[in-house]
Amino acid sequence: MGFLEVARARYSVRAYEKRAVEQEKVDAVLEAGRLAPSACNRHPSRVIVATSAADLEKMARSAPNFAKDGSVFGAPLVLLVCVRPADAWRRSYDGMVSADIDATIVCDQMMMAAHDAGLGTCWVCHFDPDVVCREFDLPEEVVPVNMLTVGYAADEPRPADKREARRIPLAQFLDVRA
């Protein structure tokens, strides 16, 4: 499957089968994240892998709107992408720190690798970072940025035409004034 096929086919899974993800697939997804580019090759991202019932429940407590069956959307695997902002590249012109961007690239690459491996995902940013920090006893210099739920989808994507109708048209995408 080519990349554009992967990009068109993946969707945000909000219900998962109750089966574990095979370790070789977890490893492939994590490797895709590890290989992600970062500004000036600084690699400030770190990933917490949650598969135990206790860790999945911690994730669910940080995202109560999406808590289901002791996890986030009932996923058997939740990847929490964190950053160490002090390790990230900083743009000299305005001081912009690349940490969130770098973490997002990691999350995106893992999301696409998961889909390519036959897994479903949902990128979750609506979680309470203070709860995650407390539940996982994260050091002060570590900031949680993105959560990625992973597993075998128990739901179906919307029909292709309905999904395409929700996407931005290319002409609008190419016009910053639109």
* Domain assignment present for 46: yes
Tokens of 146: 């993105």
- For the chain, 178 residues long, give each residue's pLDDT as a single digit of tens: 789 998 989 999 999 999 999 999 999 999 999 999 999 999 999 999 999 999 999 999 999 999 999 999 999 999 999 999 999 999 999 999 999 999 999 999 999 999 999 999 999 999 999 999 999 999 999 999 999 999 999 999 988 889 989 999 999 999 988 6
Domain count within the chain = 1
- By residue range, what is the domain housing residue 39? 3-154
The widest CA-to-CA distance across the chain, in whole angstroms, is 49
What is the side-by-side order of every strand in the sheet holding 77-83?
45-50, 77-83, 143-151, 120-124
Residue where the block lists tokens 């909000």: 14
pTM recorded for the entire structure: 0.95
67-68 and 71-72 strand pairing: antiparallel
* Domain assignment present for 79: yes
> How far is the C-alpha of 152 from the C-alpha of 120, rounded, in Å?
6
